[in-house]
């Protein structure tokens, strides 16, 4: 997992850690990064899909 995270763009890595490691709410992340909540959610969705593919997970089509 760590190796896959290191392959991500730095801004995506920051989003991942803030949401899933530090457990920050989407609204807080959006406000602090100057993004909309919807933009944060969309990026996280694509990021999780990308990580699944890197890790060989199911349904990564």
In this prediction, residue 58 carries a pLDDT of: 64
Full residue range of the structural domain in which residue 14 is found: 2-54
In this prediction, residue 2 carries a pLDDT of: 87
Domain presence at residue 28: yes
Is there a contact between 60 and 13 (Cβ–Cβ < 8 Å)?
A: no
Domain presence at residue 60: no
For tokens 């060989």, the residue is 56
Is there a contact between 9 and 59 (Cβ–Cβ < 8 Å)?
A: no
In this prediction, residue 1 carries a pLDDT of: 87
Domain presence at residue 38: yes
Domain presence at residue 7: yes
C-alpha span between 12 and 26 (Å, rounded)? 14
**Strand runs (DSSP E) across 1-61, as ranges?**
none
- We report the CATH number of the domain holding residue 26 as 1.10.10.10
To the question of pTM greater than 0.85 for the whole model, the response is no
Question: What tens-digit pLDDT sequence spans the chain (61 residues)?
Answer: 888 999 999 999 999 999 999 999 999 999 999 999 999 999 999 999 999 999 997 654 5
C-alpha span between 27 and 35 (Å, rounded)? 9
Domain presence at residue 31: yes
The three-state secondary structure class of 34 is coil
């Amino acid at each position: 997992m760590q190796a896959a995270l290191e392959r991500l763009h730095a801004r995506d890595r920051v989003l991942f850690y803030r949401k899933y490691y530090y457990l920050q709410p989407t609204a807080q992340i959006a406000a602090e990064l100057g993004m909309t909540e919807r933009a944060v959610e969309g990026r996280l969705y694509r990021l999780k899909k990308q990580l699944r593919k890197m890790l060989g997970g199911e349904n990564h089509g």
